[in-house]
Amino acid sequence: MQFSFKMMLSGTLLLLLVGCSSVLKEQTAKMDDYRSKLDQERLMTEKEREALYADSLWYNPALWQLNQKPVSAIKREQQQRDFFACVQIAEAIEKGISEQIGGIDPIQVTHARATIEVCMISKKYQAIDGKKALICESPESDVLPICTFSRDVILDYRGWG
């Protein structure tokens, strides 16, 4: 009886180690995917990058709307202030992360971008193009802490919560 318990325990530990290794490999691959996308951006010309960014929710405040209503000039100014407040929040978070890890990892760029999007939807804004996917809706987003922490906010945003 004692021998079989030790064998079961050894088998369980082996499965646990193999499982953890598999998760680590998967997470590393997802982070490498984000890093390679950023590398591709760096290879673009300024004009190509600007065109890509202009269509990105994390970059362009004009792609957001509040309550699906036409926006007056006053509301547009408030929208700009809200957007740039979200940018400042994202910068502060990334600065804090950098201080904690002792440097900057390229994945923090993607995390900051996702933070801006989550901040905007938490302020009740929505993308004018409702079909436009958020960074936190991508399959590899589980490596971004902001996406994990805001899963409920995103589900509510899509009406799935």
Residues with Cβ within 8 Å of 67's Cβ and at least 6 positions away in sequence, in order, are 124
According to the model, what pLDDT value does residue 57 have?
95
Domain count, the chain: 1
Instruction: Work out the angle at residue 58's Cα, subtended by the Cα atoms of residues 53 and 62, and round it to the nearest 5 degrees.
Output: 80
According to the model, what pLDDT value does residue 14 have?
64
Q: Let me know: does 147 contact 141? Beta carbons within 8 Å.
A: yes
According to the model, what pLDDT value does residue 142 have?
86
According to the model, what pLDDT value does residue 10 have?
67
| Residue 127 bridge partners (DSSP) | 64
According to the model, what pLDDT value does residue 147 have?
92
| Residue 126 bridge partners (DSSP) | 65
Give the structural domain span for 34.
Answer: 2-157
Q: Let me know: does 92 contact 86? Beta carbons within 8 Å.
A: no
- For the chain, residues with pLDDT lower than 70 are 1-3, 5-23, 68-71, 161
